[in-house]
Amino acid sequence: MPAFETLLTFFGVSVLLGLTPGPDNLFVLLQSAQRGWRAGMAVVVGLCAGLVVHTAAVALGLAAVFAASAMAFTVLKYCGAAYLAYLAWQALRAPAATAQESAVATGQGKQGGPSLGRMVGRGMVMNLTNPKVLVFFLAFLPQFADPARGSVALQLMLLGVVFMLATLLVFGAIACFSGGFGALLQRSARAQTVLNRVAGLVFLGLAVRLATAER
């Protein structure tokens, strides 16, 4: 097991990484503003579920095999880019949502918008279809593992749990803040329309960025 000082340092670095602007926290920010803090938290849960898979892949050595395959990296990044482009298309064509319709969008009202379960799925797909996350984990986690302190695989799993905890705290705070701000915007159909268009353009930009990413 890593030393307590190592875990504390790792947690601090993970929090800083969570605060650094990137596709995942931007995704949480926009989804929360559009659909409320509950939907944002559901996305955060999905992102953390994706991190479980990435952590397991690194611990089992699968990430190294994936990183060595240019084809696997390319296929996955294009799948992720296509998914982001789909979300962009949905956001750009979405009508203005009132506060009541926002509740429907989070699955709390009648059918018509993504349920919380689907928002969890969005977060998980967003995370798993970004090969840069897996490559990052492959390079980042082993730096804090010490073979002299026991099983490296178990240490990597523990580090992954700590990273997920930091992600949950930081992204959860973003979801709550953005959701509260979004609730104000949902009182205005015009403001909600602008928010949907901005979200669509941001998702489209993220799709292009991911599609052109290199290993």
Tell me what the mean pLDDT of segment 171-194 comes to.
79
Residue 115 maps to a domain: yes
Which residues in 99-120 are b (16+ Cβ under 10 Å) and which e? eebbbbbbbeeeeebbbbeebb
Q: What angle do CA 153, 151, 165 make, to 5 degrees?
A: 50
* Residue 101 pLDDT > 70: no
Separation between Cα atoms, residue 40 and residue 46, nearest integer Å: 10
Q: How confident is the model at residue 159 (pLDDT cuts 50, 70, 90)?
A: very high
The DSSP code for 68 is T
* 2, part of any domain: no
CB 180 within 8 A of CB 35: no
Encoded tokens for 88: 């962009």
What is the spatial distance between Cα 202 and Cα 79, in angstroms, rounded to a whole number?
17
Look up the pTM and report it.
0.78
Write out the two tokens for 29.
Answer: 């920010």
Q: Return the SS3 of 87.
A: helix
Is residue 6 domain-resident?
A: no
* pLDDT(161) > 70: yes
* 143 domain residue, yes or no: yes
Residue 157 in domain = yes
pLDDT exceeds 60 at position 107: no
> What pLDDT does residue 86 have?
83
The answer to whether residues 156 and 59 touch, using CB atoms and an 8 Å cutoff, is yes
Parent domain of 82: 31-211
pLDDT higher than threshold 70 for residue 108 = no
Q: Is 36 within a domain? A: yes
Cβ atoms of 1 and 148 closer than 8 Å: no
Residue corresponding to tokens 């955060």:
44
Most confident of 15-24, 70-79, 128-137, 163-172: 163-172
Q: Which pLDDT band holds residue 198 (cuts at 50, 70, 90)?
A: confident
In a domain, 25, yes or no: no
Number of separate domains in the chain: 1
Q: What is the pLDDT of residues 39-77, one digit of tens each?
A: 999 999 999 999 999 998 888 887 777 667 778 778 877
Q: What average pLDDT does the chain have?
A: 81
Question: What is the percentage of the chain residues whose pLDDT exceeds 90?
Answer: 24
165, part of any domain: yes
